[in-house]
């Protein structure tokens, strides 16, 4: 499977390095500083979740996209993966084409975040109650205090603020935020919405669930 992924990603234009253990992966990531890491949960030395924690603890890798690739598809396993810092989750068996699209989307988010950090403040803001979003520099403030959001969490929030009152389905959000049209069922959006709400603290109710349809920005 590793060889299959390496070949397909290289065919898609990516430079790829493969590692067979968690410790090798941590060392390779620190050395190469990749845009995206595809991480299996079941590794011979460390659990993939522990590798994810170690990657997220390295400030040099704060913008790297992490995609968990695993045969364990239970909701609890996905939640744990996201809680330790994964950005996306694909369950075996999977579509190689969809996985490549998801990697491309994560790489684009990482590049956008890196570019945004270097940008100057244009003074433009999106706001909801005490939330303020700088769409140029990808910074979010809650009552003047900056929040630390992952690139996909930021993109989710900005998407809602740019479309106040508009209900967006999970499929629309996957296409808009992740840049993919899912070929398989996924609860990725729900888990990211839950994590975004936790990061927003007192403004967790900014994103409203519309039962049977999707999500929207709540009327302030």
Q: Which of 71, 87, 118 is a domain's end point? A: 118
The number of folded domains in the chain is 2
136 and 106 in one domain?
A: no
107 and 156 in one domain?
A: no
Residue 79: its pLDDT value, please? 67
CB 85 within 8 A of CB 56: yes
Give me the residue label for tokens 């060889």: 3
Least confident stretch, 42-56, 77-91, 180-194:
180-194
40 and 105 in one domain?
A: yes
Structural domain boundaries enclosing 104? 1-118
Whether the model pTM is above 0.85: no
195 and 148 in one domain?
A: yes
Which CATH number fits the domain that encloses residue 180? 1.10.10.10
pLDDT (tens digit per residue) in 66-83: 998 877 656 666 667 777
The sheet carrying 36-40 orders its strands as: 36-40, 65-70, 88-91
Rounded distance, CA 179 to CA 102, Å? 7
Query: Is the torsion defined by CA of 163, 63, 106, 74 positive or negative?
Result: negative
111 and 61 in one domain?
A: yes
Tell me the pLDDT of the chain averaged across its residues.
Answer: 87
Least confident stretch, 63-67, 102-106, 148-152:
148-152
129 and 110 in one domain?
A: no
């Amino acid at each position: 499977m590793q060889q299959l992924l390496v070949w397909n990603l290289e065919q898609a234009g990516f430079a790829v390095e493969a590692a067979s253990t968690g410790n090798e992966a941590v060392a390779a990531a620190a050395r190469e500083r990749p845009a995206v890491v595809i991480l299996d949960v079941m590794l011979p030395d460390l659990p993939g979740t522990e590798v994810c924690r170690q990657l997220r603890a390295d400030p040099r890798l704060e913008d790297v996209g992490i995609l968990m690739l695993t045969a364990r598809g239970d909701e609890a396993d996905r939640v744990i993966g996201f809680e330790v810092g994964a950005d996306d989750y694909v369950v075996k068996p999977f579509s190689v084409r969809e996985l490549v699209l998801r990697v491309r989307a994560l790489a684009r988010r990482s590049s956008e975040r890196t570019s945004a950090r270097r940008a100057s403040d244009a003074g433009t803001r999106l706001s909801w109650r005490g939330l303020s979003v700088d769409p140029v520099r990808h910074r979010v403030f809650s009552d003047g205090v900056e929040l630390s959001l992952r690139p996909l969490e930021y993109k989710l929030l900005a998407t809602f603020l740019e479309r106040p009152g508009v209900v967006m389905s999970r499929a629309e959000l996957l296409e808009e935020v992740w840049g993919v049209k899912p070929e398989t069922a996924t609860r990725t959006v729900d888990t990211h919405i839950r994590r975004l709400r936790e990061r927003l603290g007192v403004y967790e109710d900014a994103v409203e669930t519309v039962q049977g349809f999707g999500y929207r920005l709540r009327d302030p």
